[in-house]
Structure 1
Amino acid sequence: AMARPEVLERLGRKNPTEPGDKGTVPQGRSMMSLARNAVHTNAAMPAPLVELLAQPDAPGRKLLQDAAASMQFSARAYHRILKVARTIADLDGAESIGRIHLAEAIAYRAVNDRIAAAA
Protein backbone atom coordinates (compact mmCIF):
# COMPACT_ATOMS: atom_id res chain seq x y z
CA ALA A 1 0.00 0.00 0.00
CA MET A 2 1.56 3.22 -1.16
CA ALA A 3 0.33 6.80 -0.96
CA ARG A 4 -0.02 8.62 -4.22
CA PRO A 5 3.35 10.00 -5.41
CA GLU A 6 2.23 13.66 -5.38
CA VAL A 7 1.21 13.35 -1.72
CA LEU A 8 4.51 11.79 -0.66
CA GLU A 9 6.42 14.39 -2.67
CA ARG A 10 4.56 17.22 -0.93
CA LEU A 11 5.15 15.63 2.49
CA GLY A 12 8.87 15.39 1.81
CA ARG A 13 9.24 19.17 1.44
CA LYS A 14 10.03 21.38 4.40
CA ASN A 15 7.77 24.06 2.91
CA PRO A 16 4.96 22.51 0.85
CA THR A 17 4.19 25.88 -0.76
CA GLU A 18 7.39 25.60 -2.77
CA PRO A 19 7.47 24.70 -7.06
CA GLY A 20 -20.57 22.14 19.86
CA ASP A 21 -20.26 24.96 22.50
CA LYS A 22 -20.93 28.48 21.21
CA GLY A 23 -18.07 29.80 23.33
CA THR A 24 -15.51 27.51 21.69
CA VAL A 25 -16.54 28.03 18.08
CA PRO A 26 -14.89 31.45 17.67
CA GLN A 27 -11.73 30.08 19.30
CA GLY A 28 -11.73 27.29 16.72
CA ARG A 29 -11.30 29.67 13.84
CA SER A 30 -7.80 30.29 12.61
CA MET A 31 -7.34 34.00 13.24
CA MET A 32 -4.79 34.29 10.46
CA SER A 33 -7.20 32.96 7.87
CA LEU A 34 -9.99 35.22 9.10
CA ALA A 35 -7.95 38.39 9.16
CA ARG A 36 -5.69 38.03 6.14
CA ASN A 37 -7.63 35.95 3.70
CA ALA A 38 -11.33 36.53 4.34
CA VAL A 39 -11.82 32.79 4.89
CA HIS A 40 -14.47 32.20 7.51
CA THR A 41 -13.64 28.62 8.48
CA ASN A 42 -10.65 26.32 8.22
CA ALA A 43 -12.84 24.00 6.16
CA ALA A 44 -13.25 26.73 3.52
CA MET A 45 -9.49 27.20 2.99
CA PRO A 46 -8.31 26.45 -0.54
CA ALA A 47 -5.37 24.03 -0.86
CA PRO A 48 -2.63 26.67 -1.33
CA LEU A 49 -3.78 28.45 1.82
CA VAL A 50 -3.89 25.16 3.73
CA GLU A 51 -0.25 24.59 2.82
CA LEU A 52 0.61 28.07 4.05
CA LEU A 53 -1.36 28.15 7.31
CA ALA A 54 -1.47 24.50 8.34
CA GLN A 55 2.20 23.56 8.57
CA PRO A 56 2.80 20.74 11.07
CA ASP A 57 5.92 20.55 13.22
CA ALA A 58 8.61 17.98 12.31
CA PRO A 59 7.15 15.10 14.39
CA GLY A 60 3.70 15.88 12.96
CA ARG A 61 5.05 15.90 9.41
CA LYS A 62 6.65 12.48 10.01
CA LEU A 63 3.38 11.09 11.38
CA LEU A 64 1.47 12.49 8.40
CA GLN A 65 4.00 11.02 5.98
CA ASP A 66 3.76 7.58 7.61
CA ALA A 67 -0.05 7.72 7.65
CA ALA A 68 -0.17 8.85 4.01
CA ALA A 69 1.92 5.85 3.01
CA SER A 70 -0.07 3.30 4.99
CA MET A 71 -3.57 4.74 4.41
CA GLN A 72 -3.03 5.78 0.77
CA PHE A 73 -4.09 9.42 1.11
CA SER A 74 -5.08 11.32 -1.97
CA ALA A 75 -4.08 14.99 -2.22
CA ARG A 76 -7.63 15.87 -1.19
CA ALA A 77 -7.45 13.65 1.92
CA TYR A 78 -4.06 15.15 2.80
CA HIS A 79 -5.52 18.68 2.74
CA ARG A 80 -8.65 17.67 4.64
CA ILE A 81 -6.54 16.14 7.42
CA LEU A 82 -4.45 19.31 7.63
CA LYS A 83 -7.63 21.42 7.86
CA VAL A 84 -9.02 19.26 10.66
CA ALA A 85 -5.65 19.30 12.46
CA ARG A 86 -5.54 23.12 12.14
CA THR A 87 -9.00 23.33 13.72
CA ILE A 88 -7.98 20.97 16.53
CA ALA A 89 -4.86 23.06 17.17
CA ASP A 90 -6.98 26.24 17.19
CA LEU A 91 -9.35 24.71 19.74
CA ASP A 92 -6.33 23.69 21.80
CA GLY A 93 -5.03 27.26 21.68
CA ALA A 94 -1.87 26.14 19.88
CA GLU A 95 -0.19 28.38 17.32
CA SER A 96 1.26 25.47 15.37
CA ILE A 97 -0.02 22.04 14.46
CA GLY A 98 1.63 19.38 16.59
CA ARG A 99 1.85 15.64 16.29
CA ILE A 100 -1.04 15.23 18.75
CA HIS A 101 -3.32 17.40 16.58
CA LEU A 102 -2.48 15.38 13.47
CA ALA A 103 -2.94 12.09 15.31
CA GLU A 104 -6.46 13.14 16.29
CA ALA A 105 -7.30 14.30 12.75
CA ILE A 106 -5.98 11.04 11.28
CA ALA A 107 -8.01 9.06 13.81
CA TYR A 108 -11.18 10.82 12.65
CA ARG A 109 -10.27 9.94 9.06
CA ALA A 110 -9.80 6.27 10.00
CA VAL A 111 -13.21 6.17 11.71
CA ASN A 112 -14.88 7.68 8.63
CA ASP A 113 -13.15 5.13 6.39
CA ARG A 114 -14.44 2.25 8.56
CA ILE A 115 -17.98 3.65 8.55
CA ALA A 116 -17.91 4.06 4.77
CA ALA A 117 -16.64 0.50 4.32
CA ALA A 118 -19.43 -0.88 6.52
CA ALA A 119 -22.17 0.95 4.61
Structure 2
Amino acid sequence: MPGPKIRSAWRNPSKVSIRAKKRGLPQMGTLGAGNHYLEVQVVEEVYDKFAADKLGLWKGQKGQVCVMVHSGSRGLGHQVATDALVAMEACMQKNKFNPIDKQLACAPIQKGWRIICIPPPC
Protein backbone atom coordinates (compact mmCIF):
# COMPACT_ATOMS: atom_id res chain seq x y z
CA MET A 1 0.00 0.00 0.00
CA PRO A 2 1.61 3.33 -1.06
CA GLY A 3 0.43 5.48 1.85
CA PRO A 4 2.57 3.94 4.60
CA LYS A 5 5.66 3.91 2.32
CA ILE A 6 5.50 7.63 1.62
CA ARG A 7 4.81 8.56 5.24
CA SER A 8 7.77 6.54 6.51
CA ALA A 9 10.02 7.83 3.72
CA TRP A 10 9.53 11.47 4.72
CA ARG A 11 10.38 10.60 8.34
CA ASN A 12 13.73 9.12 7.35
CA PRO A 13 16.40 11.87 7.21
CA SER A 14 18.72 9.59 5.21
CA LYS A 15 16.34 10.00 2.25
CA VAL A 16 16.87 13.80 2.17
CA SER A 17 19.75 15.12 0.05
CA ILE A 18 22.77 16.76 1.68
CA ARG A 19 22.00 19.98 -0.25
CA ALA A 20 18.47 20.05 1.21
CA LYS A 21 19.84 19.51 4.72
CA LYS A 22 22.42 22.30 4.26
CA ARG A 23 19.70 24.68 3.03
CA GLY A 24 17.31 23.77 5.81
CA LEU A 25 19.60 23.60 8.84
CA PRO A 26 20.11 27.38 9.30
CA GLN A 27 16.34 27.88 9.07
CA MET A 28 15.31 25.33 11.69
CA GLY A 29 13.37 27.03 14.47
CA THR A 30 12.79 30.25 12.50
CA LEU A 31 9.92 31.58 10.43
CA GLY A 32 12.14 32.89 7.66
CA ALA A 33 11.61 36.11 5.73
CA GLY A 34 9.20 37.63 3.23
CA ASN A 35 5.55 36.90 3.91
CA HIS A 36 6.22 34.37 6.69
CA TYR A 37 4.53 35.19 9.98
CA LEU A 38 3.22 34.01 13.33
CA GLU A 39 0.06 35.74 14.51
CA VAL A 40 -1.79 35.38 17.83
CA GLN A 41 -5.56 35.75 17.40
CA VAL A 42 -8.68 35.72 19.58
CA VAL A 43 -12.00 34.31 18.35
CA GLU A 44 -14.51 37.17 18.66
CA GLU A 45 -17.28 35.84 16.44
CA VAL A 46 -18.18 32.34 15.24
CA TYR A 47 -19.97 32.29 11.89
CA ASP A 48 -19.88 28.53 11.27
CA LYS A 49 -20.14 26.44 14.45
CA PHE A 50 -19.59 23.18 12.56
CA ALA A 51 -16.32 24.44 11.01
CA ALA A 52 -15.20 25.93 14.35
CA ASP A 53 -15.77 22.58 16.03
CA LYS A 54 -13.83 20.73 13.31
CA LEU A 55 -10.94 23.17 13.77
CA GLY A 56 -10.90 22.44 17.50
CA LEU A 57 -12.12 25.88 18.54
CA TRP A 58 -13.81 24.55 21.66
CA LYS A 59 -17.20 24.05 20.08
CA GLY A 60 -17.22 27.63 18.82
CA GLN A 61 -16.65 29.44 22.12
CA LYS A 62 -15.77 33.09 21.82
CA GLY A 63 -12.52 34.24 23.40
CA GLN A 64 -10.48 31.21 22.28
CA VAL A 65 -6.83 32.16 21.69
CA CYS A 66 -5.42 30.80 18.42
CA VAL A 67 -2.06 30.96 16.68
CA MET A 68 -1.74 31.21 12.90
CA VAL A 69 1.62 30.40 11.30
CA HIS A 70 2.75 30.60 7.68
CA SER A 71 6.28 29.71 6.70
CA GLY A 72 5.99 28.12 3.25
CA SER A 73 8.32 25.35 2.14
CA ARG A 74 11.47 27.47 2.51
CA GLY A 75 14.92 26.08 1.70
CA LEU A 76 14.54 22.51 2.94
CA GLY A 77 11.09 21.83 1.46
CA HIS A 78 11.99 23.58 -1.78
CA GLN A 79 15.16 21.52 -2.16
CA VAL A 80 13.41 18.20 -1.42
CA ALA A 81 10.82 19.06 -4.11
CA THR A 82 13.55 20.15 -6.55
CA ASP A 83 15.47 16.90 -5.99
CA ALA A 84 12.33 14.86 -6.74
CA LEU A 85 11.55 16.94 -9.85
CA VAL A 86 15.08 16.45 -11.20
CA ALA A 87 14.79 12.67 -10.72
CA MET A 88 11.33 12.66 -12.35
CA GLU A 89 12.66 14.69 -15.30
CA ALA A 90 15.29 12.00 -15.92
CA CYS A 91 12.50 9.41 -16.05
CA MET A 92 10.45 11.57 -18.42
CA GLN A 93 13.41 11.96 -20.80
CA LYS A 94 14.04 8.21 -20.75
CA ASN A 95 10.34 7.56 -21.50
CA LYS A 96 10.15 10.38 -24.09
CA PHE A 97 7.42 12.26 -22.24
CA ASN A 98 7.39 16.07 -22.43
CA PRO A 99 4.71 17.77 -20.29
CA ILE A 100 3.84 21.43 -20.88
CA ASP A 101 5.10 22.35 -17.39
CA LYS A 102 8.07 20.71 -15.64
CA GLN A 103 6.12 20.71 -12.36
CA LEU A 104 3.80 18.15 -13.98
CA ALA A 105 6.74 15.74 -13.84
CA CYS A 106 5.85 12.08 -13.61
CA ALA A 107 7.34 8.60 -13.76
CA PRO A 108 6.06 5.04 -14.07
CA ILE A 109 4.40 4.18 -10.75
CA GLN A 110 7.13 1.89 -9.34
CA LYS A 111 9.89 4.33 -10.33
CA GLY A 112 7.84 7.19 -8.89
CA TRP A 113 7.62 5.54 -5.46
CA ARG A 114 11.37 4.94 -5.49
CA ILE A 115 11.98 8.59 -6.42
CA ILE A 116 9.77 9.82 -3.59
CA CYS A 117 11.46 7.52 -1.08
CA ILE A 118 15.02 7.57 -2.46
CA PRO A 119 15.70 9.95 -5.37
CA PRO A 120 17.74 7.76 -7.79
CA PRO A 121 18.19 8.21 -11.52
CA CYS A 122 15.37 6.46 -13.39
Alignment TM-score > 0.5, same fold? no
Higher share of residues assigned strand? 2
Kindly name which structure, 1 or 2, has the bigger radius of gyration based on alpha carbons: 2
TM-score, with structure 1 as normaliser: 0.26
Higher share of residues assigned helix? 1
